[in-house]
Amino acid sequence: MPEVRIAHVANFYGPRSGGIRTTMNALTAGYAAAGHEVHLVVPGPRDAWEPVPGGTLHTVAAPMVPRTGGYRMITRPDAVRSLLDGLEPDRIEVSDRTTLLGLGDWARARGVPSILMVHERIDGVLRAFTPDPFDGLLPPLAERWNRRSVARFDRVVATTEYAAAEVERLGLDVPVHRVPLGVDLGLFRPSAATERRRRSLAGEYEALVVVASRLSAEKRVDLAVDAVARLVHDGTPARLVVAGGGQHLPRLRRRAERAGVPHRFMAFVPDRERLAGVLACADVVVAPGPIETFGLAALEALACGTPVVVSRTSALPEVVGDAGAAPAPEPAAIAAAVREVLDRPVATRRAAARARAELFPWSLTVERMLALHGAPVLPSARRGAATHRAARSGVRAGA
């Protein structure tokens, strides 16, 4: 079988980090290693293209979305369709349910198999940003939006049962496949912890509680702040370290100060090796977001040998398993869960965390996605070959 040309199109591709960015980059590397050609199409400051490890990154000029920390949204889907016409992909993946929904129709009209990748639950997103008086309107609104999204694509990929449930209950004639995301088990590892780094983060007798998250409303980092406040007030020496930036950083810092929580807000940590060290040094990581559909940061913490306390209302209990705890998204419940995890023997809890993460290598994600595409690993596969072919082709965004 010849190589397959795969295009992955997305909005909200973070300028420096984020789940969609991490996922797209990991899939690109895996597809290229299997011998296939990969093109990523994302919003950016201008129409451009550049080679990236494993493929080609095409940016379509798009405005920033206010109060999102630098995320952009494509408002010219016609430019994306024009770009795809030039690329002539054999398969298309779409990570978006906003302005790019029409790409399912584009693919169907050209006989190109399409996959919609579900990275969020519409009902959860609406609930996170909608005032309580409108809560009763959300289920029918989410259902209409999902019907509009899903029916335009040949397949849906959901990362967890939690993410899949919102689509499956519609009863549409569109297959829904569960393909968990993965983690870089070489980068995120227990040995990333060092005594020097640990001493720089917390005192010898303090429990180090870490949150690694974008500081936006739906992530509910305030729950972690309040939970650590309860631990401290109940006599548990603890320090909160938050790795992540966002519009809520000043507000959360003031909240920690008012509550008397020993804390450090590191802002965004661009060095992934340094982030791995922070996660590996932690005694427990808290991922309190009540609507998370996977939670890559939680999986990265597990890979570092650190147990994770997550919200039971999210998909994260599926990811964490027994390598952590899943209380209600309330400060008292989270604090109790952190205490319970800290009471477990250190070696036992750290071994369980790493073992859980080893069930989620990126190679397994890539293998399952390639199977859906009918694109096997080619005998002549060479990492980086797609980059060189794309660079020679001279295809540019908007061409």
Q: Quick one: pLDDT at residue 170?
A: 83
Judge contact between 168 and 187, C-beta under 8 A. no
H or E element at residue 118: strand 114-118
Question: What is the mean pLDDT of each successive set of 10 residues along the chain, which is 399 residues long?
Answer: 90 86 96 96 96 95 84 94 98 94 96 93 62 59 81 94 88 92 98 96 96 92 98 97 93 97 94 97 97 94 98 96 98 98 98 98 97 87 44 38
Structure tokens at 394: 């001279």
Quick one: CA torsion of 30, 190, 249, 21, rounded to 10 degrees?
0
Q: How buried is residue 368: exposed, middle or buried, by Cβ count under 10 Å (0-12/13-18/19+)?
A: middle
The pLDDT value recorded for residue 148 is 82
Q: Residue ranges of the domains in the chain? A: 5-182+362-393, 190-357
Phi–psi pair at 230, nearest 5 degrees: -65, -40
DSSP states of 251-290: HHHHHHHHHT--EEEEE----HHHHHHHHHH-SEEEE--T
- Predicted local confidence at residue 126, as pLDDT: 61
**Residues 242, 209: Cα–Cα separation, whole Å:** 9
Report d(CA 65, CA 62) in Å as an integer: 9
**Cβ proximity of 138 and 123 under 8 Å:** yes
Same fold, 5-182+362-393 and 190-357: yes
Helix axes 161-168, 138-150, angle to 10 degrees: 90
**CATH 3.40.50.280 assigned to 190-357:** no
How is domain 5-182+362-393 classified at the architecture level of CATH? 3-Layer(aba) Sandwich (3.40)
> 186 in helix, strand or coil?
coil
pLDDT confidence of residue 395: 39
Model pLDDT, residue 107: 98
Q: Which helix (H) or strand (E) holds 221?
A: helix 221-233
CA neighbor of 270 nearest in space, from 24, 17, 52: 17
Could you report how far apart the first and last alpha carbons of the chain are, in Å?
29
Residue 331: the pLDDT is 98
Backbone angle region of 35, left / alpha / beta, with phi > 0 → left and psi within -120 to 50 → alpha = left
pTM of the entire predicted model: 0.89
